[in-house]
Amino acid sequence: MKRIVVSIIALMMVVSGCAGMSDSSRTKAEGTAVGAGGGALLGALIGGLAGGKEGALIGAAVGAGAGAAAGYAYGTHVAKQKEKYAKTEDWLDACIASAEQVNQETRAYNLALETDIQTLQAETDSLTIAYAQKKVEKSALQQEKSKIDSKLADANKTLDRSNFELENQQLAAAEARKGGQTQQADKLDQEIEQLRGTVAELEAQTQSLASMSARMAV
């Protein structure tokens, strides 16, 4: 675990050593380093549970690689978006507007999905009882499962988009704070915190859908 901690510290030093790079290159490097550090830590924890010390080291290596790739993708996306604006302040205002929009859309989606889940839950409960009593055929459950799986696929797409927005806005907030735009950084942090809660709600709803789908798998 000491090796893992040292590796993560080294990755964070990459971030602090980005000052001499161009703005675009620095953003990409920061995204890569942060992603690698987070991936290494998560990989170490999972690997440690699965395979002890050796598993932790392997998990850290694999997680760092996967995290670095994801981090680079986020960093590249942020850099490209930033290049569209003449002033950093304009870019940050656009980031805040984007975060607000995704927050609103995801909250609205959550509310609609909650209603759909309640309906699907009642249907699955009824079908489960009817199937146990041999009042319906297996095909009825399979049809219900298809309906649930379609809703789950859509929910996962929305979840992926929200998570992508969350990662990008975290990078943007870090850029803002580092550049001295404290007011905009604070506003982004508020949106990020709200989005985290909204994403957590959506994750819980996708788990409910996955659980219902499993009940219909006969």
Q: Phi and psi for 134 in degrees, rounded to 5?
A: 60, 35
Looking at residue 161, its pLDDT comes to 92
pTM for the full predicted model: 0.64
Looking at residue 143, its pLDDT comes to 96
**218/163 Cα distance (integer angstroms):** 33
pLDDT tens per residue, range 28-53:
555 565 555 555 555 555 555 555 55
Looking at residue 125, its pLDDT comes to 96
Q: How far is CA 199 from the centre of its chain?
A: 8
**Average per-residue pLDDT in the chain?**
78
Residues 6+ apart with CB under 8 A from 35: 67, 68, 69, 70, 71, 72, 74, 75
pLDDT tens per residue, range 66-103:
555 555 555 555 566 667 776 888 888 889 999 999 99
Strand, coil or helix: 180: coil
Domain segments of the chain as ranges: 1-84, 87-218
Looking at residue 19, its pLDDT comes to 47
